[in-house]
Amino acid sequence: GVMEKLGLGPEVLLQENPRLIYARLTGFGQAGKYAKSAGHDINYLALSGVLSKLGRKNENPYAPVNLLADFAGGGVMCALGIVIALFERARSGRGQVIDASMVEGVAYLSSFLWKSESLGLWSQPRGENLLDSGAPFYEIYRTSDGKFMAVGAIEPVFYNQLIEGLGLNLDELPAQMSFSDWPEMKKKFASVFAQKTQAEWCSIFDGTDACVTPVLSFDDVASHQHNKERSSFIKNDQGEVSPRPAPVLSRTPAVPSCKRDPFIGEHTEEILLEYGFTKEEIDKLYSDKAIEVKNLKASL
């Protein structure tokens, strides 16, 4: 209702421009009991049902920072809605309103969980399933230098290479999908991984299909050979590292900026002048505290 109070709701603007695509991104959506309630990623994740699936056995559910509901279920789904609406407008010539709820976005994003539950992938309690830390071959293990290795050896051909790399004998171990043996197998794998450093395990598993990779820190990720070869991370002119835009398009790839992020208000005056505002109007907006201006140039 905030935009309506400003006289800028979709009904008003679509009358002015019927081709307008008006995206409304909120936590709980534009209608419903919680529509006007405050919330954060963890709340939207909880209401979507997804949070109940996240966490280890016998522990509370945990929210993976604020990536799932805010960014994936919210920002990405809203952007996808805009792309869909643009595609449709190319045919109809008409715009429309996008009601992007983070609850519904993250729920829809997790459709795999709903659809695969009947297949047995999520039939056990939290933390006891194939992909939620229940399986010993889909887990994270600590190395002797306090770092970690991520293991995702689901398919038998990959699992066999995992066992070989760990120096174990497949014939002496329980069957891979023997659920009752998973807890003991996790202990065995943990004991083996704890005997070598992360670098030593990388030297063993790099170049294999065991699906074993190092858990890289933000400090290490840009220097990893694979990421370096793909230029997956970039540095700005301040030396700060960030991910390169993805996905990479073959004809029109994104051109990342290597400049630092702008300060709040750094370009306000420049942009308003470009859009036809006079210096006097900009000064009035600034004095009314409607805008913020940060002038980096010395007035000499």
CATH number, residue 34: 3.40.50.10540
Of 119, 150, 173, the residue that ends a domain is 119
Whole-number Å distance between alpha carbons of 34 and 31: 8
206 and 278 fall within a common domain: no
pLDDT band at 296; cut points 50, 70, 90: low
Does some domain include residue 71?
Answer: yes
Q: Is 70 a known active-site residue?
A: yes
Chain centroid offset of residue 223 CA = 22
Choice among 41, 70, 171, 224 that is catalytic:
70
- The overall average pLDDT reported for the chain is 95
Nearest to 66 by CA among 101, 41, 102, 100: 41
**Position 223 pLDDT exceeds 90:** yes
What was the pLDDT predicted at 119? Answer: 85
Condensed to tens digits (0 to 9), the pLDDT of residues 116-150 reads: 888 878 889 999 999 999 999 999 999 999 999 99
226 is catalytic: no
Total number of domains in the chain: 3
In terms of residue numbers, what domain contains 26? 2-119
Nearest to 138 by CA among 45, 56, 53, 69: 56
pLDDT score of 253: 94
Both 158 and 200 in one domain: the answer is: yes
Residues 150 and 114 in one domain: no
In this structure, the answer to whether residues 144 and 43 fall within a common structural domain is no
Instruction: Pick the last residue of a domain from 64, 90, 119.
Output: 119
Q: Looking at 40, 220, 261, 283, which residue is catalytic?
A: 40
CA distance 290 to 269: 12
pLDDT digits (tens, 9 = 90+) for 52-73: 999 999 999 999 999 999 999 9
Q: Which of 180, 197, 215 is the last residue of a domain?
A: 215
- 7 and 64 within one domain: yes
**Of 168, 271, 159, the residue nearest 211 (C-alpha):** 159
Question: What confidence tens digit (pLDDT) does each residue in 174-220 have?
Answer: 999 999 999 999 999 999 999 999 999 999 999 999 999 999 999 99
Please indicate, yes or no, whether residues 115 and 144 belong to a single structural domain of this protein: no
Residues 66 and 102 both lie in one domain: yes
Shared domain for 163 and 110, answered yes or no, is no
